[in-house]
Structure 1
Amino acid sequence: MDGVVARLRELDALLPARDGVAVFNRVYLAVTEEVRDRLAGPCFGDPAAVAELDAVFAARYLAAVADDLAGRLPPACWRPLFALRAHPGLHPVQFALAGIAAHIGHDLPLAVVETCRRRGCSPQDVAADYDRVDGVLAGLEERVREMLLPGPDLLDATGPLAHLAGAWGVGRARDAAWAGARALWAVRALPPAYAALAAGLDEAVGRVGGRLLVPLGAAVPGR
């Protein structure tokens, strides 16, 4: 976990502050530091498993960053954020939500399966600590909102940004990710089925990211 935090801090120093990937990276750094700091206390039943899952999880985001830096295409789920990271018509909360959608919607289910394979256990064995992470994230939501949103005097309660903020639901995203992990686990012994399910998840999450990154006030493609 310390290595992950160090790399996230390096990226925070490297990327321009307004860069869309930098926006997500700052949110992810805050979350990762909080989870890491809880590992030494009574929060988790199996801190070693949580640390391994978080490291495997983070590696997928860091691999997408490495792909981008090397001029390679990142996975489909990450492409909208990397492609539109400098768009002047997008708000930081949109960048953050697109990154969260990619990382939780696609990377987390695969990370759960990979961690369980490494540890010789099943997703059910890590379910309790997975849920405990939800509690940690719930405690961070207000802090993250403050990082991303203007003050209440500047936020139009009827505007599209307010609707996006109201749709903030990391818990719902993690519930969907858990369902995805269980589906992937069920077909883990069938490589073609596993690959097809993982690829479909990647493409579907990428489409979600694309819709989150429509400039506010613009028409949503396909509507």
Structure 2
Amino acid sequence: MADTSFPSAIATPATTIDEVIVQLTAIVEWSKQNDSRMGYFAALYRKVTIQVKHGIAENYFDDGPRMERLDVIFANRYIHACYLYQTGQTPTKSWVRAFDATQHWWPIVLQHLLLGMNAHINLDLGIAAAETVPPGELQNLKGDFEKINQVLAGLVGGVQSELAEIWPILGLLNRFLGSVETAIINFSMEKARDAAWSFAEKLSPLSEVQRKQAIVEKDGMMALFSNVISHPGFYGSLIIGIIRLGERGTTRQRIEILE
């Protein structure tokens, strides 16, 4: 059923990184008002986007305007998926799995973040890279592509402390076991980054029809992989259940922590 309260401002694609931040803010604020777990990934993603904006302003990237173009194309895929889902339409299968999970009580915050990363990095990032530049210029993008992933990885330490605030026992475990979820996210990020670049290289020379078919196939694979995140076997599910019972705060409070 369509949600008429969902911010209509996100129906129109953003054209600048500032517009992206405004639209992400609208999703975060709507999520807080409606106690929606969609806000977990949106809050983290807004923080990443603000970091990318700062990086562009400080000439961190080789080509600032090109990086803004990539960031906007990339973000619009997520924002449009949110809009489609909340207005009763159907985004890619990977996003459907991530958004469907937000309707359920049991997934822990880390699972919601990983489901979002699966859809957005494993699928959307390669598509965005291929759409940002013509095929002959894709290799020139690789340096900045790797830098944007360094920005993403650089926020993992912050996520670690925020997750420990939501689930205090995690902070204690990290002292004895090392940063458990940091290792998980970094491993996921590294593998996802490499896979996204390979996917961009695959898509870049294809015709529009061939691209659409390749995206459908990749989306199906990533939707299946989301099952591994949601249902990590008997012992994994047992550990997640224990974590979930120990998570503190309301959905709104957790979003505010991730902000």
TM-score by length of 2: 0.74
Inter-partner Cα distance in structure 2 for 1:64 and 1:82:
9
- Cross-structure match for 1:115: 132
In 2, the alpha carbon distance for the partners of 1:100 and 1:69 equals: 19
* Cα distance in 2 between the residues matched to 1:71 and 1:132: 36
The answer to whether the 8 Å contact 1:80/1:206 transfers is yes
Bigger drift between 85-94 and 95-104 goes to: 85-94
Match of 1:144 in 2: 159
**For the Cα contact (< 8 Å) 1:184–1:194, is it kept in 2?**
yes
Query: 1:72-105, CA deviations, whole angstroms, 9 ceiling, x for partnerless residues?
Result: 1221110111112031111111000100110001
Distance 1:40 1:75, change over 3 A: same
2:219 corresponds in structure 1 to 202
Contiguous gaps of at least 5 residues in structure 1: none
- For residue 121 of structure 1, report the CA deviation from its aligned partner: 4.9
Return 5+ residue gaps in structure 2 as ranges. Answer: 1-16, 240-259
- State the partner residue of 2:203: 184
Q: Which amino acid aligns with 2:169?
A: L
How many angstroms does 1:166 deviate by?
A: 3.2
* Aligned-pair identity (%): 25
Mapped to 2, the partners of 1:167 and 1:135 lie a distance apart of 16
Separation in 1, partners of 2:167, 2:119: 28
Any conservation in 2 of the 1:5–1:33 contact (CA below 8 Å)? yes
8 Å CA contact 2:97–2:226 kept in 1: the answer is yes
> In structure 2, how many angstroms separate the alpha carbons of the residues matched to 1:75 and 1:192?
17
Q: Is the 8 A contact 1:35 1:136 kept in 2?
A: yes
**SS in structure 1 at match of 2:74:** helix
Structure 2: how far apart are the matches of 1:171 and 1:65?
25
Q: Is 2:134 the partner of 1:128?
A: no
Matched, 1:90 2:107: yes
1:125 offset after TM fit, Å?
Answer: 1.4
Tell me whether 79-88 or 60-69 shows the greater mean CA deviation.
Answer: 79-88
1:217 aligned residue: 237
Pairs aligned (count): 212
Whole-angstrom CA distance in 2 between matches of 1:91 and 1:32: 23
Equivalent in the alignment of 1:64 = 81
For the Cα contact (< 8 Å) 1:12–1:26, is it kept in 2? yes
Deviates more, 1:91-100 or 1:145-154: 145-154
8 Å Cα contact 2:85-2:96 kept in structure 1: no
Q: Select the structure that is richer in helix.
A: 2
Superposition map of 1:28-107 within 5 A: 28-107=45-124
Amino acid at match of 1:81: A
The runs of at least 4 aligned residues of structure 1 exceeding 6 Å deviation read none
3-state SS of 1:79 partner? helix
Following superposition, the deviation at residue 184 of structure 1 comes to 1.1
